[in-house]
Chain A
Amino acid sequence: MSNEFSDVPDHTRRIILKGAAGLAAFGFTAGALTSAHATADAKAWPADAFKQKSEADALKALYGKSAEASDKVNLDAPEIAENGAVVPIAVATTMPGVTGIAIMVLENPYTLAAAYKIPEGTEASVACRLKMAKTSKVVAIVEAGGKLFSATKEVKVTVGGCGG
């Protein structure tokens, strides 16, 4: 089973070792700037889907259909967010033929938080960090074989991530 966090057996040791390793990593991206020319395609952004205020509307705008709950969708989210500004969320599935993953936060001003396109050869697993305005259900959507599957988990937020 893939778990975003299980590959960290001994944190104390790791954090100490990281001092040296992290330093070595400094700037290794800097020199590469000149050879980079590819630019992300702004037209790929589904503006309409990101404006929706319900799960159903967002799904319709993004995929044009609705989702069914599935225990094969693995949503890893904290029970209580340490801070709504940075909530680590991971979604993974063992289903075949996955083409997309989306994450929704139902109580946020806009429901859809992030969507990912998964081409063939890329694993159906993603981890990211999201903002949550308040306690909310988080819904993970997996698009596989032309169908949508979902998993839901409530995340309690005591310190909201929308500032103020």
Chain B
Amino acid sequence: MLRKTLIAVAILAGAAQPLLAADKASDPKADFKAFREYFTKRFPKVALDDFVNGPYSMDAGLRKQWEAIDAFPPYDFVVDKGKQMFAAPFKNGKTYGDCFPNKGVGIRQDYPQFDAKSGQVITLDVALNNCREANGEKPFDYNKDDMAALTAYMAFTSRGKPMNITIPKDPRALAAYKKGEEYFYTRRGQLNFSCASCHVQNPGNHIRTEVLAPALGIMNAMPIYRSTWGGMGTVSRRLRTCNSQVGAEPLPAESDEYRNVEYYLSYMANGLPISGPGTRP
């Protein structure tokens, strides 16, 4: 009986299919316009640059607490640690700064990037590990504190700089963008939620105890210091938590899907200021 139901579901799913993904040509510029209009129309009282402050742009009570905490934020120590790590030379005498333009200062807004050589999206976290490996150092765990501290410091040096993501004229770059979009809108996990279920359809609403952040500008605050974690966490750590929260097994940190969705969301946030490292409940 059970099996019959399954088959019935499958047939049902296959039959009623008005739209096909292939029908829609990828047009990041049009996506960008529609995405922005959706949020600004839905939240006319939220200043555009304020979306990067996530749930605090949606809830006055939360905002007041955040402002009190952010006046002297607990992540100060993490940013300082990141600064020291960033300046400390590798065994070969080189530093992280040697791997990046402008010695790595004030460049966080340019990530993720599409890398023509590898044909893949390179996030800041991946670029940092590439830098380590190129200099004979072991890569950091993408979910752990060292990577969080480094990216927190780099974000800090980019505070206020507008997100600046480019999609080069390369079909692979467009494909990565499109894959990111697909990942964002695809429902998954036992709860049958997509990223968009929470961060497009329900920003500002409570889910269990949390106020959901809007998808617009959500990457600008990364990495984030969460009171729940009692520490700074990377983009990978947050994405994996998102997956778990909807009953889906998390993917490996910085897997294609995660890098692509970061690429997509960051492109959507182009022009909005970097606010990372952010604080979140």
List B contacts of A158 (CB < 8 A). Answer: 208-209
Contact assessment for A8 and B67 in the assembled complex, using a CB-CB cutoff below 8 Å: yes
Contact assessment for B65 and A78 in the assembled complex, using a CB-CB cutoff below 8 Å: yes
Contact assessment for A16 and B159 in the assembled complex, using a CB-CB cutoff below 8 Å: yes
State which of B68, B158, B228, B281 has its C-beta within 8 Å of the C-beta of A88. Answer: B68
Jot down 26 A-B pairs with beta carbons below 8 A, ordered by A. Answer: A5-B67, A5-B68, A8-B67, A8-B71, A11-B63, A12-B49, A15-B53, A15-B275, A16-B159, A16-B160, A18-B159, A19-B156, A19-B159, A20-B159, A22-B76, A22-B79, A78-B65, A79-B61, A83-B228, A86-B74, A88-B68, A127-B68, A158-B208, A158-B209, A159-B228, A163-B230
Please judge, given known A-B contacts A82-B65, A88-B68, whether A12 and B50 are in contact too, CB under 8 Å.
yes
Point out residues on A near B: beta carbons under 8 Å.
Answer: 4-5, 8, 11-12, 15-20, 22-23, 26-27, 78-83, 85-88, 90, 127, 129, 158-159, 161, 163
List A contacts of B64 (CB < 8 A). Answer: 5, 78
B179 at the interface (CB under 8 A from A): no
In the bound complex, CA of A8 to CA of B69 (Å): 12
Max chain A C-beta neighbours (<10 A), residue from B66, B67, B79: B67
Point out residues on B near A: beta carbons under 8 Å.
Answer: 47, 49-50, 53, 61-71, 74, 76, 79-80, 83, 156-160, 208-209, 227-228, 230, 273, 275, 281
In the bound complex, CA of A83 to CA of B66 (Å): 11
Closest residue on chain B to residue A163 by CB atoms = B230
Q: Which label, helix, strand, loop or mixed, suits the secondary structure of the B interface?
A: helix
Contact assessment for B227 and A82 in the assembled complex, using a CB-CB cutoff below 8 Å: yes
A95 to chain B, nearest CB (A): 23
B110 to chain A, nearest CB (A): 16
A129 to chain B, nearest CB (A): 7
Contact assessment for A86 and B227 in the assembled complex, using a CB-CB cutoff below 8 Å: yes
